[in-house]
Structure 1
C-alpha cells in the first residue's frame, strides 16, 4: 500500500491581513491532504490567499486555477431563482407541474411540489433518480451524470414516487435542484447557461465562473484525483444536472461571490442576495438543530450566524462560507475527494475561528 501523501505546505499568503491570518491559514492548510489546496479569506473586503499541495505546482499559480464547485453550484441556481421571483417571472410557491407543462407527475404528492420545496430540499424527491443508483454502487468513480439528458431527467420525474409529503421533511436532493434548470428555462424562454450568465455572473462581475460545458472557458482547470491522491480523473460532466453541480470557479471569483452576499449593492440581484439568506426551516433534534435558508446552511457563531455550503465532484472538494457580523468569507479547495481530505472541515473551522476575532 502506498504511503499517505503529506499535508501541503503553505506557499503563498498575501493581503493586508496576511500576517495576522498566517497562523490560522497554516493550521487550515495543515489539516488538508490533497495534490492541490487553496484557502482564501476575505475580511472586510481585504483578501488573503494560501496555496500548496503534495503534487508538483501547475503551470499557473494554484490560486488562479478553475476548480469544480459540485453542489456549491446549487447556491448560484437558487440565487437565480430568487432573482427571477423578485422580477415576477415566477413564484417560490408555484407548483413544479405548472412550469413543466405536458409532464403529469405520477402521484398526488408530486403534484404538490413547489419551487421552494426544490430549493430547500423538502420536495420528497430522492437524492438522485432511481436509474442512477445501480451504476453508482457498481462503479463509484464512473460519472453516471455524463450524457444524462434533460429528456431522461424529466422522464425520471414522471415515474418517481415521492418519499414523503412535500414540505414535511428535509432530504438532500440533487434530483430536485437539477429540475430547477428546465423550470427556469421554461419560465423565461432562455437557456439556463445564458440566463445564469446574464442575471448572476455578469452583474456580480464573476468573469472566471462558468458552467463546465461552456466552450468559452479559458482558465486552466484543476485536475481532480481519486482518494489515493494520485490517480487523475477527467472533468465531471454534469449534463442535465448542471444546475445542481456543474459550475467551475476560481478562488478570487468565489470570494467575490461571498462578498456580494456580505454587502449587496444596488441593482440586480441585490434583493435576491438578501432573500437567499432568510431562514426557511429548522431540522434535527432539539440540541442539534440546523437552520436552512433558501440555499445556505446556517450555524450559530460568535456575534451572529455563519452561512455556508460545500461541494464535491468525483475528484475535487470545496467549501464556501461567510460571517456577516465580521464581513468575513472563507473559500477552500482541494483536488481530492475522500474522507481524509478534510478541506470542508478545515474551511468551516477557519470560518468559525475568524468569527471570534473582530475584523481590523
Structure 2
C-alpha cells in the first residue's frame, strides 16, 4: 500500500486535524500523515500500558519479579490494602483497584480538565503512593484500572532499581531503536519536537505529563517509532512478547486479555490491540498476528481512532 493510497483510505475519517497512520505487513511499513512532523512526538496515552505490560513480562522472564509478588514487596505500601495486590492481577486488570486513586480535589481536577483542558495527572510517584494508601480495594474482578498499571510499572521499575522512565529507555527503547521515546515528568521535560494535542472542538490541550502517570499513560513517541514498536511486536522481537497472549476473559463478549493487551474478534480475525486517550490525543495499535499485519493511528483530537485502526486491519 502506498502512502497516497493509505491517505485516501483514512483521510476522510480522520478529517482536517493533525494525524498520522502506519500500516505494517510483510512488505514493510507505510506511513501517511497530515500536519504531523516526522520528528514530532505525541502522547500515546494508554498504549503506555501495553509498554508496561511487556516490560513486566520481560522482568518475569528475567526472574526479577514473579507474578505472585505483592505490591508491598517492591513499593512502600505495607500499611494499606493495595499492598496485598499481586502483580499478576494488576497486569490482567483484575486486582480490585478502582480506575483512579483517591485524590484530594478530584472533582476540581476533572472540572478543570473539561473546562480548561488542564492535565489532571501531574502527580509525583510519592503523591501517587500516598493516594494509593487512602484507596480501598474491592473484590477482584475484570475492571480497567489506570491506577493498577501505574503501580505495576513503578513496582517493576523499583524491583530493578531504576526509575520507570529509565526502565523504558534501557529495556525497550534502546534495544529496539525507538530514539524518540521518553516519559516526561513535568512540562519542562517536553522535547522541542513535542506536538500539542487538541480537544474535539479544536482547542489546544495541555500536555499530560507526570511521574506517577508514566506507566499508564505518560509515554511520548513519534509516529514512525510507534510503528517500529508495533512491527517489533508483530515479529516477536520485542522483550516480553508473551504479554500479548490472552489468558483470561475480559469485559465484553468474546474479549480476552493477556498482560494489558486485549484480544477481540473482528470480522472473524483475532486482533490484539491497545488504544490510548489523553486530553488532546487519541491513539491505537492493533495487530493481526495470523495475517502478519499491524496498524497504528494517532490523532490530535479526543475523537476515537479505534474504528480507523480496526478497519485497516480487517480489510
Q: CA deviation at 1:342?
A: 3.8
CA separation in 1, counterparts of 2:223 and 2:77?
41
1:194 paired to 2:166 = yes
In 2, are the aligned partners of 1:277 and 1:294 still within 8 Å (CA)? yes
User: Measured at CA, do residues 73 and 65 of structure 1 come closer, stay the same or move farther in structure 2, by a change above 3 Å?
Assistant: same
Change (3 A) 1:128 1:154: same
Corresponding position: 1:294 with 2:254 = no
Unpaired segments ≥5 residues, structure 1? 1-16, 354-360
Determine helix, strand or coil for the equivalent of 1:142. coil
1:276 match: secondary structure = helix
Alignment-derived partner of residue 279 in structure 1: 246
TM-score (norm 1): 0.79
Per-residue deviation, residues 103-131 of structure 1 (Å, max 9, x unmatched):
3213xxx4541101111211111111121
Residue 219 of structure 2 is matched in structure 1 by 247
CA distance in 2, matches of 1:47, 1:219: 26
Q: How does 1:51-130 map to 2 (within 5 A)?
A: 51-52=33-34, 57=35, 62-101=37-76, 103-106=78-81, 110-130=82-102
1:216 and 1:150 map into 2 onto residues whose CA distance is: 16
> How many residue pairs were aligned?
310
Task: From the superposition, tell whether residues 212 and 68 of structure 1 become closer, same or farther in structure 2 (CA, over 3 Å).
Answer: same
Tell me which structure has the larger Cα radius of gyration: 1
Residue-by-residue CA offset, 1:302-360 (whole Å, 9 max, x unaligned)? 675111111111011111111112211111111111xxx3422211222222xxxxxxx
Aligned residue in 2 for 1:135: 108
- The 3 A distance-change label for structure 1 pair 102 and 299 is closer
Go from structure 1 to structure 2 and tell me whether the alpha carbon gap of 1:282 and 1:34 turns closer, same or farther (over 3 Å shift): farther
Q: Distance in 2 between matches of 1:100 and 1:175?
A: 14
CA contact under 8 A between 1:31 and 1:342: conserved in structure 2? no
Q: TM-score, normalised by structure 2?
A: 0.90
Aligned twin of 2:309: 347
1:1-360 equivalence runs, <5 A: 17-18=1-2, 22=5, 25-52=7-34, 57=35, 62-101=37-76, 103-106=78-81, 110-131=82-103, 133-139=106-112, 140=114, 141-146=117-122, 148-164=123-139, 166=140, 169-213=141-185, 218=191, 220-229=193-202, 231-265=203-237, 270=239, 272-273=240-241, 275-284=242-251, 288-301=253-266, 304-337=269-302, 341-353=303-315
Counterpart Cα distance in 2 of 1:183 and 1:27: 42
Distance 1:206 1:87 in 2: 22
Aligned pair in 2 of structure 1 residues 251, 219: CA closer, same or farther (>3 Å)? farther
Q: Is the contact between residue 143 and residue 237 of structure 1 (CA under 8 Å) also seen in structure 2?
A: yes
Please list every run of 5 or more consecutive structure 2 residues that lacks an aligned counterpart in the other structure: none
Change in CA separation of 1:63 and 1:29 when aligned onto 2, cut-off 3 Å: farther
Report how far residue 218 of structure 1 moved: 4.9
For residues 210 and 126 of structure 2, what CA distance do their matches in structure 1 show? Answer: 14
Task: State the distance in 1 between where 2:297 and 2:209 align.
Answer: 22
Q: Which moved more, 1:130-139 or 1:247-256?
A: 130-139
1: distance between equivalents of 2:7 and 2:151? 38
CA RMSD of aligned residues (A): 2.3
Cα distance between partner residues in 1 of 2:107 and 2:165: 30
